[in-house]
Amino acid sequence: MTTAESSTDVLPGLTNERHPDIFNLKARPKVTEKKPGQLPEHMIKQFFEDGYVIVKDFFTKEELEPCKKAIERFVDQLAHKLYNAGKIDELYSGYGFFERLTKIENDFPGANIVLHKYGVLPQAFKDLWTNERLLNVVEQLIGPDIAGHPVWNLRTKTPQNEATTVPWHQDTAYLDRNSYTVLQPTAWIPLLDVNADNGCMQVAHRGHNTGKVARHQCCYGKTWYVMLEEEEMAKTLEVDLDKDIVTCPVPYGGMLLLNNMIPHRSLPNMSKQIRWSLDFRWQTPDHSAGFYGMKDHLLFRTSKDPDHTIDWTGFDGDDRWSKQKDSVKDLQDVLPNAEDADFDTTIQGPWMKKWDLVHHNQHTAKLTDGKQLSWHAPTKA
């Protein structure tokens, strides 16, 4: 269903503010100490000037394989849960890391969303997120005081699946306006070689330089994603659509570092394998995470205590998906309690309150119960 909703009210996500110096080369911290893993001068400069940088051959097999094993355990747990509930025909245990979830998805559409929502942070993910060499790179971007951002993701990109094809957006479009004034770099880490065929990322080169958050909309197709129209990218972010769109293939063992203001998207996965990836974020601990007060960041490193120990208590087991759903209850008459809550294939979150709702689907349906579609006063089409 598509509507043309409009309002004379200012959207909560919109602001006329510009903060370019928070995200461009002027924000680069001065790092003099040499540490393992640090990137060369030209790569750090590219991150700030272009808004992204591809880092090849950074992680070892020994650092990434535990993450793949943890995901295999997740998929196995999901298969048994669905099978025991009579929702899939078999366990598909004969299929490997890059095929099994697809087989499960064929029996139970939306299985990839259920897995995406697991929110469990296994030790292998923690180890990668706080990898010493990786944090040394992050220090080159934001300085010696480093906090882990509460939004991290396991991406379950099954082949030719709209729910795993993320449209153009700025990461700040999903967070509250406190995030508009803090640099939150992301490491996007694929668990196989990625290219245009199996769904690598595209970025809008230097689209972060205005320091502005453009007007987004919600929701894309049959998903929960916000979307940024290319015309808006050109108008507000000064993106040259003919010259600035860059495809970013990344080999296994590499990563794509992203500025949180740069527009980016993932291409569809047209291969026969699942394109697994992880994304982690960091920021300085003296700023808000911009996560609507639902969850704070976690201190990873501090210049005040070189022997700081990370306390994961209350962070790794906290279900942000339930909190996101709770955060939009004020838009609902009644939040339906799914008969099978463990198998709910919809996602709701506070970003849906920030932007015009222009497409409605199974995700936004739980916001409305047939009545108010957004906190403006929309009309149905």
Q: Which has more pLDDT, 90 or 353? A: 90
Higher per-residue confidence, 118 vs 278: 278
Compute the average pLDDT of residues 236-263: 98
Mean pLDDT, to the nearest integer, of 12-39?
Answer: 96
- Model confidence pLDDT, tens digit, residues 270-323: 999 999 999 999 999 999 999 999 999 999 999 999 999 999 998 876 555 455
Q: What is the predicted pLDDT for the residue at 369?
A: 44
Report, as an integer, the average pLDDT of 340-361: 87
pLDDT category at 376 given cuts 50, 70, 90 is very low
Q: Out of 81-90, 134-143, 302-311, 338-347, which region has the weakest mean confidence (pLDDT)?
A: 338-347
- pLDDT, residue 368, reads 54
Contact 201, 165 (CB under 8 A): no
Among the listed ranges 14-18, 24-28, 134-138, which one has the minimum average pLDDT value? 14-18
Supply 155's token pair: 């991406």
Q: Where are the alpha helices (DSSP H) in the chain?
A: 41-50, 61-84, 100-107, 111-116, 123-129, 132-142, 230-237, 320-327, 362-368
Q: What is the pLDDT of residues 173-202, one digit of tens each?
A: 999 999 999 999 999 999 999 999 999 999
Residue 372 has pLDDT above 90, yes or no: no
Residue range 142-168: mean pLDDT, rounded: 94
| CB contact at 8 A, 97 and 72 | yes
pLDDT at 53: 98
> Which is nearest to 54 in space by CA: 46, 64, 62?
46
Mean pLDDT score, 259-278: 98
- State pLDDT tens for residues 55-86: 999 999 999 999 999 999 999 999 999 999 99
Q: How far apart are CA 307 and CA 361, in angstroms?
A: 49
Q: Which H or E element spans position 226?
A: strand 226-227
In three-state secondary structure terms, 174 is helix
pLDDT-based confidence at 5, cuts 50/70/90? very low
pLDDT at site 246 = 98
Q: Do residues 287 and 181 lie in contact, with contact meaning Cβ atoms separated by under 8 Å?
A: yes
Across the chain, mean pLDDT equals 88
Q: At residue 333, does pLDDT exceed 60? A: no
User: At residue 338, does pLDDT exceed 50?
Assistant: no
Omega before residue 248 within 30° of 0, cis:
no
Whole-number pLDDT of residue 244:
98
